[in-house]
Amino acid sequence: MLLKETHHRVKNSFQMVSSLLQLQAQGSEAEVAVTALNNAVQRVNSMIVLHQQLYAKDNLLGVDLKVYITELINEILGSYSSENINFKSKIVSSILDIDTATSIGLLVNELATNSIKYAWDSSTKEKNITLDINLKNKEFHFTMFDNGVSKKTATTKENYGSELIEILIERLEAEKLPFAKNDFGLNITFKKQHG
């Protein structure tokens, strides 16, 4: 009961932070600041979804990857509903520890956000993001890409989101694999931790 209450309080704290960031964004006139604050809101929301899962389910020490990422995708699509994005996902059901789940959730959020912001030009009619997370021999295979044709620029390679993606790959102790789908795609493998 104590652990369940802790997850509930953490989720509520994240919701408070998210609300404060949204208020700050609404009160700001600088476009760069608004964008940065909205990005922060999206990152915090990915953790709210995680702690909602932990609070709502009986397994308080871990989270089902498939359920968590599916809900996270719905959250992302809700935030960018005007973009009319088709998110195709195939995710293995596996109980993960909180740290690993957080890293994967933030990774999905950053990659999706990068695709939504940079991958397509105004003439693109069909915007697709594909995510595949499977598990073979206690090793996760994570692939995520879009159908955009835009190339990474010096700015997109050096922005905070790109840096965060590299940090998350490091946290997962993941190995990057060659990937030819597109510039904003990612193909990694990492071992399943206990949990």
Would you state the pLDDT for residue 8? 62
Q: What are the tens digits of pLDDT across the range 12-54?
A: 676 777 777 777 777 777 877 777 777 777 777 777 777 677 6
Q: Tokens 């195709």 identify what position? A: 88
Indicate which CATH number applies to the domain containing 141. 3.30.565.10
Low-confidence ranges of the chain (pLDDT < 50): 195
Q: At what angle do helices 98-114 and 65-79 cross, to 10 degrees?
A: 30
| Alpha carbon distance 156, 102 (integer Å) | 23
Counted domains in the chain:
1
Domain containing residue 152: 2-191
Residue 26's alpha-carbon distances to 17, 41, 79, in angstroms, are: 14, 12, 15
Would you state the pLDDT for residue 195? 47
